[in-house]
Amino acid sequence: MSVRIGVRSRLAPAVACILLGFAAAAEIPPGERRSGYEFMSRETRAIQDDDAGNPGMLWVLDGEALWKRKAGATDRACFDCHGDARESMKAVAARYPAFDPALRRPVNLEQRINACRVGRQKAAALAYESKDLLALTAYVARQSRGLPIAIAIDERTRPFLEAGREAFFRRQGQLNLACAQCHDDHWSGKLAGSPITQAHPTGYPLYRLEWQGLGSLERRLRGCLTGVRAESYPYGAPELVDLELYLMWRANGMKIETPAVRP
C-alpha cells in the first residue's frame, strides 16, 4: 500500500514519524499527561509547594513591584492600564503563546510584555532573561497558577503549531536526537541518573536548582538544543516560539504551576 504524504494532511506527521521509526506521533493523551513535578523527589516538591520557601517567589515579588512602577515616556505603570493583576492577568499565561495580529504570528508572554512596554508605555524593551523581564513574566504567570493550560488553535496559528510539532519530531544535532525520542518515547526512563519527564512547560518561568535561579522556557529549550549538540536559536527566535506553542498545546488541560521548582 503506497502512502502519500501531503502537507495539509492531518495524518502526515503521524505517517512521517512511523516511517522515520518513532512511536505514533499522537501527543500524550490528556489522561496520561504528567507534570515534571511528579518526577521530582518529595523534598524538591516541598520546595515548590511552600511559597515561604520557594525561591521563585523572590522574582514574583519583584514582578509585583515592577507592575506598579511607572516607566517610559508615558510615565505609566502596568497597573495604570491593567489594574490589579490578580484580576486582569488571571488565565492569561494559560493561553500563551498567542497570536499577535500586528506581527501576524504567535508571540510568547515575554514578547507580549515587551510589546506593551515599547508600544504602550513607550519604554525600552526588557532584555531576554533579564531579572526584570523574568520577574514580570513570573508575576503575570503566577496569576494563572492552578488554572488549566488552554491553547486554542485556529487557522491563523495552525501553521506555527505544525512548525513547532515538526521541530519536536525532527532529529537534530550531533547526537541526532529528536525531542520526541526522549519525551514521548522514553519519559519515566532515566538519562544519566536524572528522570526523563514528559517535557510539559507547566511552571515557567521556573526556579531550576541547576541554574540556582529563575529562568524562562526559552532558556531551557536552548539548553536542550545545546545538549543534543545542535545549534541553539537566539532568544525570541520564531523557531523557539513555534516550539513553545506546540509544547503548551501538547500540555493543554494541565495546571499552571508558576513559579515551579525543578532540578
Residues catalogued as catalytic: 224
Residue 177 engages another protein in binding (rule: CB under 8 A): no
Q: Which is nearer to another protein, 52 or 73 (CB)?
A: 52
Residue 141 engages another protein in binding (rule: CB under 8 A): no
Q: Which of 17, 25, 40, 138 binds another protein (CB under 8 A)?
A: 40
As a whole number of angstroms, the distance between CA 229 and CA 131 comes to 27
Q: Which is nearer to another protein, 149 or 230 (CB)?
A: 230
Residue 213 engages another protein in binding (rule: CB under 8 A): yes
Residue 180 engages another protein in binding (rule: CB under 8 A): no
Q: Which is nearer to another protein, 51 or 84 (CB)?
A: 51
Residue 175 engages another protein in binding (rule: CB under 8 A): no
What is the binding site for another protein (CB under 8 A)? 40-44, 46-47, 50, 52-55, 57-59, 61-62, 65, 129, 191-194, 207, 209-213, 219, 222-224, 226-227, 232, 263
